[in-house]
Structure 1
Amino acid sequence: MIIKTKRLILRPFQQKDFEETFAIYKDEQTCRFLLHEPWKSDNAHEEFDKKVLKNILDKDHTLNLAIVYEGQVIGDLSLWYTEVKETVEIGYSLNRSFAGNGFASEAVHEMIHQLFYELGVHRVQVNMDARNTSSQKVCIKIGMRKEAHHIQDYWYKGEWSDSFVYGMLESEYFEYN
């Protein structure tokens, strides 16, 4: 699966993407709201290889796509089916050097377009740490609505954390776009 937007290419990870991907995930600020710790030199290749292998989206597999801008991997887009019928969850990370330029919004918006138009998904959702204001802005910008605010529902890196769920139905996407 290769998807082109106005400025980006979304494609499966390739072995040549290791260094640029490591630059994203070794950053403590980037990983602050992710479910894993920053990558270290001793585990980075193993973690990256998992991303390369996740190159198909179906009921049993997660899809990881590199977000590429001007030939450089600047982010990661992950998609997986939830246990709810025809619902896909999206996760995304961006190299902080490229934050604030609308790249995450552009990538997520196009992925949602593909999910609704090409795969016939009924609903898309994003779950996030409630403190992740950048991710909230992405969801709002592309027309998702906040569906839930769970209070201290997740034990997260040594503390209880609130979480937000943003969602969009196929019918809402067509109204918004």
Structure 2
Amino acid sequence: MQLKTERLNIRPFEVEDKEDIFEIYEDEETCRFLLHEPWTDKDRDEHFERKRNQRSLGQKSSLSLAVLADDKVIGDIAIWYTDMKETVEIGYAFNKNYSGFAYASEALSAVVRSLFRDYAIHRIQANMDARNLASAKLCERIGMRREAHFIQDYWSKGEWTDSYVYAMLEGDLPD
């Protein structure tokens, strides 16, 4: 998948993206609600290679996309199939230094439209830590609806956390 929007280029990761993506994932605040700890100098090459090798969306493969603004990677969108027919889950992280410019909304909107149009996806969902209000608002901005709020259902980083499930069908896309 390669997409262009008015301001962004969205494509699989390339070798030259390592430092930009490290800038995102080394940040404690960014990783607070993610399932993994911040990347370190010791493990960044391993994490990056795994992400760089996620180049196609299939039943047994996931896709990681770099979101670029002016040739700088400012975000990461990951997509993988769930066990349900024609259903994918999306996850994302964006460089906090680029928040407030609607880049995340622009990128995710383009990706979900492409998933429905080019991959014949029936349903797209996003699961998140319920404390991640910025992520919840982002899902709502692109047309997703909150379908569930699970109470203390996930053990993450030494504590029980609540989860939200957001989802959309093609008919939920804003005009």
Distance in 1 of aligned mates of 2:147 and 2:100: 25
Structure-1 separation of matches of 2:160 and 2:97:
29
Partner of 1:46: 46
What are the residue-to-residue correspondences of 1:80-99 with 2, within 5 Å? 80-99=80-99
Query: Is 88-97 or 164-173 further displaced after alignment?
Result: 164-173
Who is 1:132 aligned against? 132
- Opposite residue 2 of structure 1, the aligned amino acid is Q
The one-letter amino acid paired with 2:65 is L
- What is residue 109 of structure 1 aligned with on the other side? 109
The 4+ residue runs of structure 1 with deviation greater than 3 A are none
- Structure 2 unpaired stretches of 5+: none
Q: Distance in 1 between matches of 2:22 and 2:104?
A: 18
Amino acid at match of 1:152: Q
Equivalents in 2 of 1:171, 1:20: separation in Å? 35
Gaps of 5+ in 1: none
What is the identity, as a one-letter code, of the residue corresponding to 1:120? Answer: A
The residue type equivalent to 2:161 in the other structure is S
TM-score w.r.t. the length of structure 2 is 0.98
Could you tell me which residue of structure 2 aligns to residue 150 of structure 1? 150
Q: Map 1:18-97; keep pairs closer than 5 Å.
A: 18-97=18-97
Cα RMSD over matched residues? 0.7
CA distance, structure 1, for counterparts of residue 121 and residue 17 of structure 2 = 29
CA deviation after TM superposition for structure 1 residue 171, in Å: 2.4
2: CA distance, partners of 1:137 / 1:172:
16
Task: Give the secondary structure class of the aligned counterpart of 2:42.
Answer: coil
Q: Which residue identity does 1:143 align to in structure 2?
A: G
CA distance in 2, matches of 1:172, 1:72: 31
Secondary structure at 2:36's aligned position in 1?
A: coil
- Residue 37 of structure 1: SS of its match in structure 2? coil
* SS of alignment partner, residue 118 of structure 1: helix
Cα shift at 1:99:
1.1
Q: Counterparts in 2 of 1:163-174, with a 5 A limit? A: 163-173=163-173
CA displacement 1:80-137 (0-9 Å, x = unmatched): 0101111111101001000121111111111110011111100000100000011011
| Residue 31 of structure 1, CA deviation | 0.4
Counterpart AA for 1:63: L
